[in-house]
């Protein structure tokens, strides 16, 4: 395949598409299913031993970390952590590049996730998110947003870390979208520091395109994208924790400040850029 431009009479070869192994994808899917079958049932049935919701939540918090860490091992992602992990009871605000972010981050620190309500439409994940007590939000529903903020505040008050992707969606591997402020309200109300986090993905194979093969943010069909992603070898994720930011002022100003900190981490050159 070639690409021509009006300014050139000679065609320019397009970048060859990286090879993804379907057999490796299948093997990793089997490993993910096995990891789920091994890790999830003890937590699912174990919750019924406890009489209070607080005890169940504490158990399922650990279960969330164990399951997602098992998924990271199954897909064989190499994770490098830079900086000090946040203290307990932190509001964690990373950029969001791909669905695999939720597998990589728990290998570095324990977190509850706040995900878009769309996750409840995904087979298997909808059940896992419901029973594990991770949080979902419909940002266009004021009542849902208020209830989610109350839940975030309670989790942080109870000493858990809560991760919110303030971009509201995934973005490419190069740019970071504006951060949205409404879900920062619990940090402002509770005087909780916000920890900026930069998650960067890269591959050993230069033919693997970060924006299209690793990042999930355009109109790619999710199933084929996941299958292709799972067929790559030599995938690395770098997680950089920035200095905690004091929650003060209004939500918009705080969101801009946190985003600026994440962008600074992204541009610092510490994390690989390709």
**pLDDT of the residue at 13:** 42
Q: Is residue 157 in a domain? A: yes
Residue 9 exposed, middle or buried by CB count within 10 Å (0-12, 13-18, 19+)? exposed
Q: Could you tell me the residue range of the domain that residue 114 belongs to?
A: 19-267
Tokens representing 255 are 């969101």
Would you say residue 177 lies in a domain?
yes
How many angstroms separate the Cα of 215 from the Cα of each of 44, 111, 175?
A: 31, 22, 11
2-61: per-residue pLDDT in tens? Answer: 333 444 444 434 567 788 999 999 999 999 999 999 999 999 999 999 989 999 999 999
**Confidence grade of residue 207 (pLDDT, cut at 50, 70, 90):** very high
Integer distance in angstroms from the first to the last C-alpha of the chain?
Answer: 24
Confidence of residue 119 (pLDDT cuts 50, 70, 90): confident
In total, how many domains does the chain have? 1
Write down the pLDDT at residue 68. 93
* Rounded average pLDDT over 220-242: 93
Give pLDDT, residue 172. Answer: 76
Secondary structure string (H, E, C) spanning 183-199:
HHHHHHHHCCCEEEEEE
Could you tell me if residue 202 is inside a domain?
Answer: yes
In-domain check, residue 70? yes
Q: Which of 39, 63, 224, 225 is nearest to 129 (CA)?
A: 63
Cα distance between residue 134 and residue 132, in whole Å: 6
Is residue 12 assigned to a domain? no
DSSP lists the bridge partners of residue 242 as: none
The token duo for 222 is: 């999710």
As a whole number of angstroms, the distance between CA 120 and CA 128 comes to 9
The larger pLDDT score, comparing residue 135 to residue 122, is at: 135
The CA distance from 184 to 258, in Å, is 10
* CA angle in degrees (0–180, nearest 5) for 17-18-20: 125
User: Considering the domain boundaries, does residue 247 fall inside one?
Assistant: yes
d(CA 133, CA 142): 21
Q: How many C-alpha atoms does 161 have within 13 Å on its Cβ side?
A: 21
Is 9 domain-assigned?
no
The CATH number of the domain where 208 resides is what?
Answer: 3.40.1130
User: pLDDT of 47-99, one tens digit each?
Assistant: 999 989 999 999 999 999 999 999 999 999 999 999 999 999 999 999 999 99
In a domain, 3, yes or no: no
Tokens of 172: 């490419």
pLDDT tens-digit map of 128-183:
888 898 998 887 788 888 999 999 999 999 999 999 999 988 887 778 999 999 99
Per the CB < 8 A criterion, the answer to whether 28 and 75 are in contact is yes
Residue 265: how many CA atoms within 13 Å on its side-chain side? 25
Question: What tokens appear for 212 in the block?
Answer: 């299209």
């Amino acid at each position: 395949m070639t690409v021509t431009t009006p300014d050139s009479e000679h065609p320019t070869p397009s970048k060859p598409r990286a090879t993804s192994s379907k057999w490796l994808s299948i093997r990793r899917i089997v490993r993910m299913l096995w990891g789920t079958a091994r890790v999830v049932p003890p937590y699912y049935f174990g919750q019924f031993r406890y009489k209070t919701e607080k005890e169940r939540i504490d158990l399922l918090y650990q279960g969330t970390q164990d399951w997602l860490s098992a998924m990271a091992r199954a897909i064989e992602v190499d994770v490098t952590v830079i900086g000090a992990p946040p203290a307990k009871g932190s509001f964690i605000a990373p950029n969001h590049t791909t669905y695999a972010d939720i597998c990589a981050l728990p290998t570095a620190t324990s977190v509850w996730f706040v995900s878009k309500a769309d996750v409840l439409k995904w087979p298997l994940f909808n059940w896992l998110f419901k029973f594990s007590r991770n949080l979902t939000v419909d940002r266009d529903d004021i009542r849902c947003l208020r209830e989610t903020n109350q839940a975030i505040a309670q989790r942080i008050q109870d000493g858990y870390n809560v991760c919110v992707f303030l971009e509201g969606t995934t973005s490419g591997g190069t740019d970071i979208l504006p951060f949205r402020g409404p879900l920062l309200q619990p940090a402002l109300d509770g005087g909780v520091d916000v920890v900026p986090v930069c998650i960067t993905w890269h591959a050993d194979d230069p033919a693997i395109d970060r924006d299209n093969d690793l990042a999930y943010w355009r109109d790619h069909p999710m199933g084929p994208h996941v299958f292709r992603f799972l067929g790559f070898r030599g995938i690395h994720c770098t997680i950089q924790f920035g200095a905690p930011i004091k929650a003060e002022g209004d939500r918009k100003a705080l969101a801009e400040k946190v985003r600026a900190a994440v962008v600074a981490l992204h541009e610092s050159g510490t994390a690989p850029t390709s």
